[in-house]
Amino acid sequence: MTWKQLGKTLDVNQERIVGNAAQTFHADIISAWPVDTGYSKLQWQINKDSDTWTVKNPVKYSGILFVGRVGNRGSNQLPSGGYPIYKANILKMNRDLKANLL
Chain segment 39-96, per-residue pLDDT in tens? 989 999 999 988 788 989 998 888 777 766 555 555 666 554 455 677 788 888 889 8
Q: Does the residue 2 lie in any domain?
A: no
Residue 81 belongs to a domain: yes
**pTM, rounded to two decimals:** 0.73
Q: Residue 4 gets which letter from DSSP?
A: G
What is the C-alpha to C-alpha distance for residues 67 and 81, in angstroms, rounded to an integer?
Answer: 14
Which helix (H) or strand (E) segment holds residue 88: the answer is helix 85-101
Question: Which structural domain range is residue 92 located in?
Answer: 11-101
Q: Tell me whether residue 3 is in a domain.
A: no
Residue 20 lies in a domain: yes
What confidence tier does 1 reach under pLDDT thresholds 50, 70, 90? very low
Question: How many structural domains is the chain composed of?
Answer: 1
| Inside any domain, residue 85 | yes
Terminal-to-terminal C-alpha distance of the chain: 18
